[in-house]
Structure 1
């Protein structure tokens, strides 16, 4: 039986690939179950320093499988999909959504649960809940306005318009655009750059940013001082490596 979400580890990077290319990686309960299992395993794996989430074949994902919706999904519990994405979002390791091709509705909700999105130049984003008389239940109403602002979120949700990679960057949905023919190389280089920095700092910074998101500035500053997690166990080693190289040069 083919895995619906593939995991490949390489030099501290876990590559998770949505793997229903014949169905444009449309999202099913089975796919979420495998994603959840991988996320749970990665959370306990100290060897993994960064996670990349991608789609196999022509696109990231065309979204929630409408056939599954129409037939009635056997969801383990109410809010189970949202809980799964929250588990991924709360990983202590940086998570990159690497989006090429389609990224619509449920797929966009998945991508938004990553720390940030990098877009290939053929990426297309959109929220089509309103087109099908649906309402979001995987986090769109919460994460999209936090990423792009409430007015832009309303525009995208009300119109169900599709936008390209450049527009996604302009509104703050994606970080930057990469030509498709160099997308793999760029994503690998970015993830590698992240893994060379401190995993302790990554985890501490993710916690700090989430804990203070939306707080008044003074409250956030107070939290940063009082709840600071201090220095990592490899701080001295890193500084010595830097000063040693500097002195020897």
Structure 2
């Protein structure tokens, strides 16, 4: 018989959803409660008894009576190794370039992260990656392992967690660190470009790093290496490509900034593509001459690219796109559709369409770009039409298309995958196949592709019950065809793509594709499905029939800094609750 487990979280993020799914699969009864403060926690806990309370991601303080009542079975997940304490653990680790890091599960006490130890994991910390990408992949993997171990130990009435003073410390210098403030993250554009980029990586996706571009106060996100031979004043905008801006640094190099928040005077903008959000602040960034590039894996890393193609060999081609936090702008969708169409003319048998391993695959519409637009409803309409074009190019591509879900995905991003002939996913991925929580009916040809894969009844449940699906469940119901390992996923994917390029399997898959399309579209053209979906989306977007505008705005303004007061620099972290147990 499983345990009754309560997951307390400030946001039901990817880690919380993964934890719930894996605990439920082990036979436990799991409830997730999203709480804003200590009062919320008290109300939730007072209503029901639990065998175990786990806090995968919690910023509110847990009331003392809760920890006493369930001692020691109120367990907090901390993204740091034994001995590390504080609310900015991962930020400091990335900033300090720690080679090895860890995750611990500890009993909640009145001293943050100091309670008895239930479980711990250590791992190599990759360099040059965004905090949110590390959190959603390596940190999340280790945290889920710790959570499973905690549940197993909690089922043993004789088990007692270990005092941290007696526990092995694999990282000897781990210690209590304060909350990282903007003063700790600060840089000058005259600094070394790599130092600047590392500061931004350590604050991305939240809270960002406070700086200035074109005399505008901004928070910076989505930083990438730029050119090595830039002759310009440090801090000058020296180029643009797609939605990104190129900024000169003090060492003669540059960095690309893909996303910003900007101070609009009476408020801060939401996080949105850099070129468009600066335009909202009156900076004509689009007047800059764009820097040329090419959608090729051999293109210089000095040029910002979010779509790249490489021909692995004569059998397999691979098209990789990068969507920041899974958000696919209208421009990205249009270019991706054109890229699929172009590479479909090449000689390879199999086309792999994928994201970057360890990062969010796709969440569909770019809500930030929509919110920042002069006419959000029309911007959303253009975005959904462009995303539909990607789906149609995948569905009707003459090649065998293998869509590789390289990280978690949701809404239109999850449904988009169903247009592929073969769908595979990395094991850690969670798929949220629904739109309803954002006030949308959705499109992406879901009324055609989803029932073909999972059946009409299951498709209806996925779209209406709004429950996340892990890859085990996705494989069971036919949402994906194969699940790959979290470690060495790229190697596994390459081998699988070449298996599908073998004559017998390729011919079988292509024949089935053509038969299904001919049969399913023979009496009802694809345009009929799309028109019906878009008719419902038009009501959602232009009539706001399900509250999309308010839900989008609330989602995009989470964690936003307050308006300027004219009384000095605001520290974004001062405006957010510190993480307290």
Task: Name the TM-score class by shorter chain.
Answer: 0.7 to 0.9
Q: Could you list the per-position Cα deviations for residues 177-213 of structure 1 after superposition, in whole angstroms to 9, with x for gaps in the alignment?
A: 2221132122101111222317777655422232124
- Given the superposition, is the C-alpha separation of residues 69 and 193 from structure 1 closer, same or farther in structure 2, using an over 3 Å criterion? same
Structure (1 or 2) with the greater strand fraction: 2
Cross-structure match for 2:451 = 145
The structure 2 residue matched to 1:49, chosen from 340, 343, 349, is 349
Structure (1 or 2) with the greater helix fraction: 1
Cross-structure match for 1:235 = none
Take 2:348 and 2:450, find their aligned partners in 1: how far apart are those partners?
28
- Structure 2 unaligned regions, length at least 5: 1-240, 242-303, 523-581
Q: With the length of structure 2 as denominator, give the TM-score of the two structures.
A: 0.34
Root-mean-square deviation (CA), in Å? 2.5
Take 2:355 and 2:384, find their aligned partners in 1: how far apart are those partners?
26
Preserved CA contact (<8 Å) 2:322 2:355:
yes
Spell out the pairing of 1:193-212 with structure 2 (5 A cutoff): 193-197=499-503, 203-212=510-519
1:61 lines up with 2:346 in the alignment: no
Preserved CA contact (<8 Å) 2:415 2:444:
yes
Cross-structure match for 2:462 = 156
Tell which has more relative contact order, 1 or 2 (C-alpha 8 A, sep 6+): 1
Preserved CA contact (<8 Å) 2:330 2:386:
no
* Matched positions, count: 212
Preserved CA contact (<8 Å) 1:93 1:202:
no
1:88 lines up with 2:394 in the alignment: yes
Cross-structure match for 1:7 = 309
Cross-structure match for 2:327 = 26
SS of equivalent residue, structure 1 residue 24: helix
Take 1:193 and 1:66, find their aligned partners in 2: how far apart are those partners?
38
SS of equivalent residue, structure 2 residue 310: strand
SS of equivalent residue, structure 1 residue 206: helix
The alpha carbon displacement at 1:35 in A equals 0.9
Take 2:430 and 2:508, find their aligned partners in 1: how far apart are those partners?
33
Spell out the pairing of 1:112-191 with structure 2 (5 A cutoff): 112-191=418-497
Rg: which structure is higher?
Answer: 2
Take 2:491 and 2:384, find their aligned partners in 1: how far apart are those partners?
39
SS of equivalent residue, structure 1 residue 173: coil
Q: With the length of structure 1 as denominator, give the TM-score of the two structures.
A: 0.76
Take 2:383 and 2:361, find their aligned partners in 1: how far apart are those partners?
26
SS of equivalent residue, structure 1 residue 190: helix
- Given the superposition, is the C-alpha separation of residues 78 and 165 from structure 1 closer, same or farther in structure 2, using an over 3 Å criterion? closer
The alpha carbon displacement at 1:78 in A equals 8.2
Cross-structure match for 2:109 = none
Take 1:76 and 1:49, find their aligned partners in 2: how far apart are those partners?
32
- Given the superposition, is the C-alpha separation of residues 76 and 153 from structure 1 closer, same or farther in structure 2, using an over 3 Å criterion? closer
- Given the superposition, is the C-alpha separation of residues 78 and 34 from structure 1 closer, same or farther in structure 2, using an over 3 Å criterion? closer
Cross-structure match for 2:138 = none
Take 2:446 and 2:497, find their aligned partners in 1: how far apart are those partners?
26
The alpha carbon displacement at 1:77 in A equals 9.5
Cross-structure match for 1:101 = 407
The alpha carbon displacement at 1:118 in A equals 1.0
